[in-house]
Structure 1
Amino acid sequence: MSYIRRQALRIGAFILLLIAYLTNSILLEFATKYAGKNVPLADQFIGAMLISAAAILILYTWLYQRQLKRYNPRRLGHWAFNRHRIGQLLMFFMLMLAVQVGWSQLIIHHLLPIPSNQSALNGQIRQLPFWNMAYGVAIAPVFEEYLFRGFFFNFFFSKNSLTSNVLGVLVSGLIFGYLHTMSFSVTTLFYASLGWVLAGAYLYFKDIRYSIALHFLNNLWAVI
């Protein structure tokens, strides 16, 4: 199989996995839309979202583990949580927090606009508080880490070399930022910066559970 064909298949597979996640999030958007108008219909969308989220999680986990069994030069896997590693994880979180605080100061001083993604999320939380907060804090981090760290590196930057690691971090962060803004703007750099920290944590800890935990802490901080 030629290199171009392999890459095309990988891009197609990544897009399909991304579509599965986006479709799941759309179900929550519909539930939010009908929350104050048609409660039974909103409940049905929530039920569909939860069932499909469970199915997607099973698929992501199975495929990710299958990929690592086939080719895993970085020795990615499950590494025990201990006091030292938790301390290091908190240092990564402090770095993400510094990015958020610095960006918020630029917004407060009217040097940058409020991210439209955050404004939309705030509106959804007001309409359907529990499920939007639960999704943003507990479900989205898992799916996004599998997509933008796990699958992305396995598909496109699987070699354990300095060039592959650096390019993988940069590109995954940019894609992460773009998909949060759906445009190229200065706000894209904000989300890309968070993506770069998450990608760095993924490669540093060699365990996707750590980047998921870091993403969870970041999103939790954003909604409290």
Structure 2
Amino acid sequence: MGSYLNRQILRIVWIVLLFIGYQAATAFLSTASSLAGTNPDLAAKYIGLTLIASALLLWLFHWLYQKQLAKNNPRHFGHTPLTSKRLWQFILLFAIMFGIQLVWSQLIVHHILPSPSNQKLVDQGVMQLPLWNTIYDCIAAPYFEETIFRGFFLNFFFSKNTLVSNVLGVFVSGLIFGYLHTLSFNWTLLLYASLGWLLSFSYLYFKDIRYNIALHMLNNILGSI
């Protein structure tokens, strides 16, 4: 029992540290964005820090994820080939994500719900530094978030391939994903949590994190248009 608790605590620490690393890279880019209009030279240095931090983190995330799967992989996650059936299933999941975003945007347009504060920050960064923020939000961020919230989280804490473990894993992963995007309990949390639940389901269904990353990327690209 003691060894199990120690192992779980160590896993929590690892996930927290990886999330902090991801937030640090994001903070470098946010600082570059805020300086872009007043101090371009310093902004360029922070862009450099963002690129270096992101490259190191991408390598670290990939290495740790592959190492974790090699050590314990009861669900047999890995690389599954893209068949016509999986392609249509992927398109269906993306259509559901698009539908969620569309309904939510209409609720915002008609002033039924407020615009997510997280999205306001993203939009502000894109306005200040369009190219680098768009690249980061549409490529780097989906990789980091899917590896943390789906790859590591579900593999570490809900690794048993049972109905109870799968349902709880999807629910908790999506809820944490939603809360960390809002940092409050409100209706906006439900938006991000629903996207997190869909992505968690995708990970367990396809058993290949690349499908998740692609879904997340497409969703962010759609949001940036």
Runs of 4+, deviation exceeding 3 Å: none
Q: Deviations over 1:105-154 (max 9, x none)?
A: 11122111111111111111111111111111111000000000001112
Q: What's 1:45 paired with?
A: 46
Distance 1:53 1:83 in 2: 33
- Superposed CA offset, 1:36-60 (max 9, x none): 1111111111111111111111111
Alignment correspondent of 2:80: 79
1:74-107 Cα offsets, whole Å, 9 max, x none, are: 1100011232212111100001011101111111
Superposition map of 1:15-94 within 5 A: 15-94=16-95
Report how far residue 6 of structure 1 moved. Answer: 2.1
CA deviations over 1:11-64 (Å, ceiling 9, x no partner): 111101111111111010011011011111111111111111111111111110
Look up the SS of the partner of 1:78 in the other structure: coil
Count of matched residue pairs: 224
TM-score by length of 1: 0.97
The correspondence of residues 165-184 of structure 1 with structure 2, limited to 5 A, is 165-184=166-185
Q: Aligned with 1:36: secondary structure?
A: coil
Give 1:9 deviation, angstroms. Answer: 1.4
Amino acid at match of 1:20: G
Q: Classify the secondary structure of the residue corresponding to 2:185.
A: coil
3-state SS, counterpart of residue 21 of structure 1: helix
Hey, what does 1:2 align to over in structure 2? Answer: 3
Amino acid at match of 1:190: L
Partner of 2:211: 210
In structure 2, list runs of 5 or more residues that go unmatched.
none
Report the 3-state secondary structure (helix = DSSP H, G, I; strand = E; otherwise coil) of the residue aligned with 1:215: helix
- 2:73 is paired with a residue whose SS is coil
Distance 1:101 1:208 in 2: 25
Q: Deviations over 1:151-188 (max 9, x none)?
A: 11121111111111110100010110011111111101
Distance 1:83 1:45 in 2: 43
Secondary structure of residue in 2 paired with 1:2: helix
Instruction: Report the 3-state secondary structure (helix = DSSP H, G, I; strand = E; otherwise coil) of the residue aligned with 2:159.
Output: coil
Q: CA RMSD in A?
A: 1.0
Measure how far apart 1:4 and its partner are. Answer: 2.5
TM-score (norm 2): 0.97
Structure-to-structure mapping, 1:136-215, within 5 angstroms: 136-215=137-216
Query: SS in structure 2 opposite 1:124?
Result: helix
| Identity among equivalent pairs (%) | 55
Cα separation, 1, equivalents of 2:72 and 2:24: 29
CA distance in 2, matches of 1:192, 1:162: 20
CA distance in 2, matches of 1:72, 1:153: 11
CA–CA distance in structure 2, aligned partners of residues 158 and 50 of structure 1: 33
Structure 1 residue 109 and structure 2 residue 110: aligned? yes
- In the alignment, the residues of structure 2 paired with residue 58 and residue 205 of structure 1 have an alpha-carbon distance, to the nearest angstrom, of 23
| Ranges in structure 1 where 5+ consecutive residues have no aligned partner | none
The aligned counterpart of 1:131 is 132
